[in-house]
Structure 1
Amino acid sequence: MTQPPHDEPTAAGPDELREQVEQTRRHLGDTVEALADKTDVKARAQEKAAQAREQASAKATELSVQVKAKAAEAAHLVQEKLPDPVKAKAAAAAEQAKAKAGQAQQMWHDQAPEPVRDNRTPLLAAGAALVVACLLLRRKKK
């Protein structure tokens, strides 16, 4: 029989010996499992990739917040330094564009027949389908 290691006391009885054997088995199982984990290159690579994705996502979020803050700051600075006459012209141009858009919408509402106004989405879809059908028929003839 082999000698016990110097740092482990010998068992006093069979129950104590069984406990030592079970403890050694658990320790050996843990060691084997740790070695198996180290040799599983694919799993380790996937873990590293997942960590890298998480880090990249966190960094992207952080940078996005920083860029938004810088953009807001730059817009504020530009607005502060913009001369009042330019601000007034921009506001007037915006009002004119808004008024023209309203006029165009009103003109559409006034000039288009009611059935067309009420069913414009299906009519646009039917027109698109007709164009596609014509293109397909034309392509078959060639």
Structure 2
Amino acid sequence: MSTQRPDQEPAPTFERLREQIEDTREELGHTIEALSGKADGKMRLHDQATAVKDQAAAKGAELTDRIHDAAEHGVQLLKDHTPDPLLDRAARAAQRLREKTARAARSAYRTPDVAWQESGPMADPARARRLPLLAGGAAVVVLLIAVRRVRRQR
């Protein structure tokens, strides 16, 4: 006769224990797969973000190259369509401007401090509006060149 109570299950056999261990291992394997899937999802998102970042950098570099090429092409077209005498004249004017600027810089070192102090109140407004003044001066030079060119063509 057995010493078991009717509400208890019989003691598991060796084969039954082995089956339970296999079932537990299988469940554990599914759990690990699920957890690694979640971690893998984070890695996939990280990889996708890196890929998008790299793709954006490549596209930016490509666009920069295209803009640079277009600008070079525009400069070349401008040079091709600008008459040689005008280019020569512009080069001579630029050289004269460099020489005059160098002369002015040399004379500025010889200018007495009193002159600088007296000219300061008059020069400050011009310094504050340097860009518009330079742009206006450049526009006047371009306009004068265009007018002279039109007059010579008549």
Structure 1 segments unaligned to the other structure (5+ residues):
1-13, 114-142
Instruction: Determine the structure 2 residue equivalent to 1:85.
Output: 85
CA root-mean-square deviation: 3.9
Quickly say closer, same or farther: Cα 1:112–1:56, change in 2 above 3 A: farther
Q: Distance in 2 between matches of 1:75 and 1:36?
A: 54
CA drift at 1:68: 0.6
Answer 1 or 2: higher relative contact order, Cα 8 Å, separation at least 6: 1
Q: Distance in 2 between matches of 1:109 and 1:62?
A: 48
Instruction: Determine the structure 1 residue equivalent to 2:65.
Output: 65
**Aligned pairs for 1:38-77 within 5 A:** 38=41, 44=45, 48-77=48-77
**Aligned pairs for 1:1-142 within 5 A:** 25-26=28-29, 28-35=31-38, 37-38=40-41, 44=45, 48-111=48-111
Quickly say closer, same or farther: Cα 1:103–1:23, change in 2 above 3 A: farther
Instruction: Determine the structure 1 residue equivalent to 2:124.
Output: none
Query: 2:33 is paired with a residue of what secondary structure?
Result: helix
Query: 2:60 is paired with a residue of what secondary structure?
Result: helix
Q: Distance in 2 between matches of 1:100 and 1:26?
A: 85
CA drift at 1:35: 3.8
Q: Deviations over 1:27-77 (max 9, x none)?
A: 641333204554x6xx93x66554433322221111001111111121112
CA drift at 1:78: 1.1
Counting aligned pairs with the same residue, the percent is 24
Q: Distance in 2 between matches of 1:49 and 1:19?
A: 40
Instruction: Determine the structure 1 residue equivalent to 2:116.
Output: none
Which letter does structure 1 place at the counterpart of 2:33?
A: D
CA drift at 1:23: 7.9
